[in-house]
Structure 1
Amino acid sequence: MIEHLEVTPYRLSTAAAGIKAAGGEIEALVGTLVRESATLSLQWSGDAQQALRGRRRSWASAWCVEPRSFHA
């Protein structure tokens, strides 16, 4: 366990840059997933298509984005 944590502007800046880079990587992976799943979902109909739309709304809510962001 950390007994002492020293925060300096340099360390804070370095941590922020690392977090921003990781966030960018996550967004890129999500984008790839969305594009690849969109191609597959074009083959779906009926209940499967409705379930996907519902899930996209849930994802959008969790990510605080518009549902259309999860369409290719």
Structure 2
Amino acid sequence: MRTWFEPEEFSAAVDARHESRDGRPAYWDGARIRFFLLRYVPYKVTAPRKELDLAPEVLRTYLRYLDVTGLRDP
């Protein structure tokens, strides 16, 4: 069984922010979340549909982790 941090979607979330203009992997706002879920995942992530459907929950879990640990960029 896979855990939340193993799917390609988690790696893709970090990559999407790292590859962005500002390169800040812990900075997420509404526009960046929409870009990741609606543009980045469909065009850049290759995985079975079942795993792609996990992208919103994986991102939500990642953002919660960043928030709880104090790592989320203001």
Asked if these proteins are the same fold (TM beyond 0.5), I'd say no
By relative contact order (CA 8 Å, sep 6+), the higher-ranking structure is: 2
Q: Which has the larger radius of gyration?
A: 1
Q: Provide the TM-score with structure 1 as the length reference.
A: 0.32
Bigger fraction of residues in helix: 1
